[in-house]
Amino acid sequence: MLTVNRYKCGYCGACVGVCPAAALELVETWIEVNDDCTRCGRCAKICPLGALELDKEAKR
Amino acid sequence: MKCDLVVVGAGPAGSMTAKAAAEAGLDVVMMEKRQEIGDPVRCAEGVSKAALKKLVEPDPSWISAEVKGARIRAPDGTEIVISEDRAGAEVGYVLERKVFDRALAQEAAEAGAKVMVKTRALGLLTEKGVPAGVVAQFVGEELKIEAPLVIGADGVESKVGRWAGIETALKPKDVETCAQFLVQDERIDDDYCEFYLGNDIAPGGYVWSFPKGRALANVGIGILGSKADSGTPIRLLRDFMKANFPEGKVLEMMVGGVPVSGPIERTVADGVILVGDAARQSDPITGGGIINAMKAGKMAGKIAADLVPRGEVDKRSLMVYEEMWRETIGKHISRNFAVKEFFVDLTDDDLNRMIHSLDGIDVAELDLKGLLKVLVRQNPKHLLKLRHLIV
Ligand SMILES: Cc1cc2nc3c(=O)[nH]c(=O)nc-3n(C[C@H](O)[C@H](O)[C@H](O)COP(=O)(O)OP(=O)(O)OC[C@H]3O[C@@H](n4cnc5c(N)ncnc54)[C@H](O)[C@@H]3O)c2cc1C
Ligand code: SF4
Ligand code: SF4
């Protein structure tokens, strides 16, 4: 699963712009993840603050 | 609710679109998902004075500072100064975007557009399979706005294009991932924008310092997504601060992504137009996108005012916009994309050599094209690949 650390996130929307599955949405000051996420990891790679993490268990 | 045109997003692209369309007589609704237009800022706020003046009357309330030129620092510390006017006249503005974005929205409102904040577009309405407006959430309540044309000015996180079948997702190599501090430090030079290059400092990007007056500056970093890892920008920005502004006090922080993909395949669909960052129209080298967003918005708004009353909003009719922006701003964006693709893989030695080659040269033109021309002239062998791009 993709987890968003809401305490770290700077609500910039960069992750939303790179997600190939359109699984992310920026609503005011938080990021929502929907079921379309394929766990590709692109969003986590580009997050300027490192607020996104792919849980290794789920990635298997 | 019904209108002639829905504009999604109230950044510079959206407000210019709404203003131009409303001025030409359309019934326009511009929606913005944030409750405060322009805040939080995702920008270093630098623009060319001459370019901005052609689009809007400068107002002291949204100008933080005026700058005389730029300084570029090579990885080995060598610096060059670029100043257009030897008399030291100001060539660039550093804006206060919180105020600027709202002022542009106000101009759209004054021209007759309806502005709705805390209103987030959720998807397109369709009629017989063709887009016919927007479903939105207005302060938590569902709202349908029917309109023959929707203009997506929804920035880096744009969804409007995707809803209409236009693929806008950015690959990591096509996005600069950024972090920025508003820094107070007596060492800040109030007159010059500064750029710091180097693969250790900012892989595939650069560090900037844009003065905002009274020893304040936006000090930020952009890193090419493909060379970044989770959290790299904020980590490298902190390193840079330690090395260069150890006493600097951070009054604000912000993060963001800038599209550097160059022109995407298509920016129109039936009943839909994309403008600004949503259309990936920012400059692939500098990451600057305000001016292009405003220009594209103005074009789109005028074209909308022309076509909507005639009922010509299918993809083919909207190609007028597509052709117009590609013929104008698109040319620079394409060229700069090619130049960027070349620059991002240069080693520190290459970068040092290039900066050294400018030593003692009178770089009279501040603009990028002038600088590139001089670089190619001074480094004919190394920059052979670029020669055909810069004529
Ligand atoms: C760190 C950084 C530094 C930069 N520095 C510079 C610089 O110095 N000079 C320069 O020229 N450019 C700079 N840029 C680029 C510049 O900020 C953008 O190009 C510019 O803001 C684009 O304007 P826009 O109107 O297209 O998009 P934006 O300004 O991003 O506006 C889009 C708006 O749409 C809204 N929106 C999004 N989705 C929805 C929805 N579903 N419903 C309703 N509203 C929605 C957003 O909330 C936002 O307000 C920088 C960018 C970054 C990230
Ligand atoms: S890229 Fe990171 S900081 Fe920006 S909105 Fe996404 S999770 Fe938050
Ligand atoms: S992991 Fe991939 S699919 Fe999932 S939200 Fe991130 S970018 Fe989108």
Average pLDDT of the segment spanning A19-27: 98
**Is B77 a known ligand-binding residue?**
no
Looking at residue B348, its amino acid is D
The pLDDT score that the predictor gives to residue A60 is 44
Q: How far apart are CA B71 and CA B82, in angstroms?
A: 6
Coil vs helix vs strand at B70: strand
Among A12, A25, A27, beta carbon nearest to B257: A12
Q: Which of B38, B215, B211, B217 is CA-nearest to residue B115?
A: B38
What domains, with CATH codes, occur in chain B? 5-42+98-170+261-335 (3.50.50.60), 65-91+172-258 (3.30.9.10), 357-389 (no CATH)
Nearest bound ligand to the CA of residue A23: 3
B115-165 confidence digits (pLDDT tens): 999 999 999 999 998 999 999 999 999 999 999 999 999 999 999 999 999
Whether A20 has its CB under 8 Å from any CB of chain B: the answer is: yes
The pLDDT score that the predictor gives to residue B85 is 62
Q: How far apart are CA B259 and CA B170, in angstroms?
A: 7
Q: How far apart are CA B105 and CA A24, in angstroms?
A: 27
| Residue B305 structure tokens | 């005012």
Chain B residues with beta carbon closer than 8 angstroms to that of A45:
172, 225, 228-230
Chain centroid, CA B168 distance in Å: 16
Radius of gyration of chain B (CA): 21
Average pLDDT of the segment spanning A20-26: 98
Residue of A3, A5, A6, A9 to mutate, ligand 2, most atoms within 8 A of C-beta: A9
First CA to last CA distance, chain A: 10
Taking CB atoms and a 6 Å cutoff, what residues make up the pocket around ligand 3? A 2, 19, 21, 23-24, 33, 37-43
Tell me what the pLDDT averaged over chain B comes to.
94
Comparing B383 with A32, the larger pLDDT belongs to: A32
Which CATH code fits A2-55? 3.30.70.20
Q: How far apart are CA B18 and CA B114, in angstroms?
A: 9
CA-based nearest distance A3→chain B, Å: 13
Average pLDDT of the segment spanning B40-47: 96
The pLDDT score that the predictor gives to residue A59 is 47
The pLDDT score that the predictor gives to residue B182 is 98
Work out the pLDDT band at B366, boundaries 50, 70, 90. low
Q: How far apart are CA B126 and CA B366, in angstroms?
A: 48
**Ligand 1 midpoint to CA B391 (Å):** 31
B69-124 confidence digits (pLDDT tens): 899 999 999 998 887 665 566 779 999 999 999 999 999 999 999 999 999 999 99
Residue with tokens 């620079």: B332
Whether A35 has its CB under 8 Å from any CB of chain B: the answer is: no
The pLDDT score that the predictor gives to residue B11 is 98
Q: Which of B9, B263, B266 is CA-nearest to residue B115?
A: B9
**Ligand 2 midpoint to CA B42 (Å):** 12
| Residue B330 structure tokens | 């698109």
Nearest bound ligand to the CA of residue B117: 1
B258-276 confidence digits (pLDDT tens): 999 999 999 999 999 999 9
CA-based nearest distance B224→chain A, Å: 9
Say if residues B13 and B296 touch (Cβ distance below 8 Å).
yes
Is the CA virtual torsion B35, B45, B272, B17 positive or negative?
Answer: positive
Packing angle between helix B348-357 and helix B368-378, nearest 10 degrees? 100
B309-316 own/partner pairs: CB under 8 Å, 24+ apart:
B309/B4, B309/B25, B309/B26, B311/B148, B313/B148, B313/B149, B313/B270, B313/B271, B314/B130, B314/B270, B314/B271, B315/B268, B315/B269, B315/B270
The pLDDT score that the predictor gives to residue B360 is 74
Whether A28 has its CB under 8 Å from any CB of chain B: the answer is: yes
The pLDDT score that the predictor gives to residue B84 is 66
Helices within B71-154 (DSSP H only): 97-110
**B228–A46: do the CB atoms touch at under 8 Å?**
yes
Whether A7 has its CB under 8 Å from any CB of chain B: the answer is: no
Q: Which of B357, B44, B9, B19 is CA-nearest to residue B195?
A: B44
Residue of B117, B150, B159, B290 to mutate, ligand 1, most atoms within 8 A of C-beta: B290
Interface probe, candidates A3, A8, A18, chain B, greatest B C-beta count within 10 A: A18
Radius of gyration of chain A (CA): 10
Whether A49 has its CB under 8 Å from any CB of chain B: the answer is: yes
- Residue B355 beta carbon below 6 angstroms from any ligand 1 atom: no
Coil vs helix vs strand at B108: helix
Average pLDDT of the segment spanning B170-180: 98
**Is B290 a known ligand-binding residue?**
yes
A18 pLDDT higher than 60: yes
Q: Give every CB contact of residue B131 below 8 A, 6+ residues apart in sequence.
A: B124, B125, B150, B163, B164, B269, B270, B271, B272
Say if residues B196 and B223 touch (Cβ distance below 8 Å).
no
Q: Give every CB contact of residue B260 below 8 A, 6+ residues apart in sequence.
A: B174, B175, B176, B224, B282, B283, B284, B285, B287, B337, B340
- Residue B153 beta carbon below 6 angstroms from any ligand 1 atom: yes
- Residue B135 beta carbon below 6 angstroms from any ligand 2 atom: no
Packing angle between helix B315-327 and helix B329-343, nearest 10 degrees? 60
- Predicted TM-score (pTM) of the model is 0.96
Least confident of A1-5, B336-340, B387-391: B387-391
B202-255 confidence digits (pLDDT tens): 999 999 999 999 999 999 999 999 999 999 999 999 999 999 999 999 999 999
The count of other CB atoms within 10 Å of the CB of residue B213 is 14
**Is B102 a known ligand-binding residue?**
no
Separation in Å, CA B390 to CA A28, B44, B287, B335, B367: 42, 27, 19, 8, 13
Percent residues over pLDDT 70 in chain B: 96
Comparing B390 with B372, the larger pLDDT belongs to: B372
For residue B309, say if its preceding peptide bond is cis, omega within 30 degrees of 0: no
| Residue B228 structure tokens | 């970044």
Q: Which of B268, B264, B274, B267 is CA-nearest to residue B314?
A: B268
Helices within B24-96 (DSSP H only): 49-53
**B156–A27: do the CB atoms touch at under 8 Å?**
no
Complex prediction ipTM: 0.94
CA atoms within 13 A on the CB side of A33: 17
A58 pLDDT higher than 70: no
**Where do the structural domains in chain A lie, given as residue ranges?**
2-55
